[in-house]
């Protein structure tokens, strides 16, 4: 009987063979290694994005009928894990800041029309989270969950910790949204640092294109939390004047 090994389980040989640089062999070793670093970072991001999107999809499913007795806690677990993974994605961009500009400028022409803007997983994530003007699938699922519990998102925000797991889900949704925004802003800053106002390799307007797509998800949830904040401020002010 063949015993499964670590390398076989993870397909390590295949995984480590997927970094195909486009820089000619006549270039310096430093430039070739810089492109290798660029590829590894983006491939890693795509792997983490796969985990993020399937976790968020599972969280939305857990908040969608029919509901089981553990579904709310399960949704919370998926959301909390996603918030941590978005920190991982952010830190990978911070690491990418160590890509020397002179080396990037040398291998960038060999990217041809390839661009991160073409990532299908970026688009899928945006559909799940929504933007700063519309809600995505995740928030709509949360709304349905609160209705199933005989409540509403507004009630959950007003009750705070008294709403139990629903309040923790609301907090985690905002943790995910903030992590997503932080990651996108870091990407915007990195691109601005590396290419300035030049167009993207995929034909986009580069920094301008990215800036228009930096959104802060769950606008309705933020609005409801702000209303609670204003109410608490008003109550606190009234108590001090008594």
What is the Cβ-side half-sphere exposure of residue 146, based on CA atoms within 13 angstroms?
A: 22
Whether the pLDDT of residue 198 is over 70: the answer is no
- Is 171 among the domain residues? yes
- Is 191 among the domain residues? yes
The token pair that represents 111 in the structure block: 């990217």
Name which of 112, 144, 138 is nearest 126 in CA terms: 138
The string of pLDDT tens digits covering residues 83-99 is 999 999 999 999 999 99
CA distance 139 to 144: 9
- Is 129 among the domain residues? yes
Residue 229 CB neighbours (<10 A)? 11
For 144, list phi and psi in degrees, rounded to 5. Answer: -65, -35
- Is 201 among the domain residues? yes
CA distance 241 to 211: 45
Helical packing angle, 29-62 and 120-129, nearest 10° = 30
The string of pLDDT tens digits covering residues 119-139 is 899 889 999 999 888 899 999
Q: What is the pLDDT of residue 10?
A: 97
Domain count for the chain: 1
CA distance 132 to 143: 17
CATH value at residue 61: 1.20.58.480
- Is 159 among the domain residues? yes
Domain carrying residue 180:
6-241
- Is 1 among the domain residues? no
- Is 53 among the domain residues? yes
């Amino acid at each position: 009987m063949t015993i499964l090994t670590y390398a076989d389980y993870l397909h390590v040989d295949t995984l480590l063979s997927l970094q195909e640089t486009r820089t000619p062999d006549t270039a310096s070793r430093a430039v070739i290694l810089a492109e290798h670093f660029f590829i590894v970072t983006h491939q890693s991001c795509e792997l983490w994005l796969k985990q993020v999107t399937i976790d968020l999809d599972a969280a939305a499913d857990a908040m969608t009928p029919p509901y089981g007795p553990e579904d709310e806690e399960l949704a919370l677990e998926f959301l909390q894990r996603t918030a941590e993974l978005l920190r991982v994605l952010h830190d990978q961009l911070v690491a990418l800041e160590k890509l020397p500009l002179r080396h990037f400028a040398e291998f960038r022409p060999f990217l041809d029309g390839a661009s991160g803007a073409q990532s299908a997983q970026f688009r899928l994530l945006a559909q799940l989270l929504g933007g700063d003007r519309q809600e995505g699938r995740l928030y709509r699922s949360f709304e349905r969950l609160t209705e199933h519990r005989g409540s509403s998102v507004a009630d959950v925000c007003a009750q705070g910790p008294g709403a139990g797991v629903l309040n923790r889900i609301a907090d985690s949704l905002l943790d995910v949204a903030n992590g997503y925004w932080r990651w996108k802003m870091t990407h915007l800053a990195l691109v601005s640092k590396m290419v300035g106002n030049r167009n993207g390799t995929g034909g986009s307007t580069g920094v301008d294109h990215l800036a228009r797509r930096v959104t802060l998800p769950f606008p309705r949830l933020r609005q409801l939390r702000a209303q609670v904040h204003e109410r608490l401020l008003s109550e606190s002010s009234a108590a001090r004047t008594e």
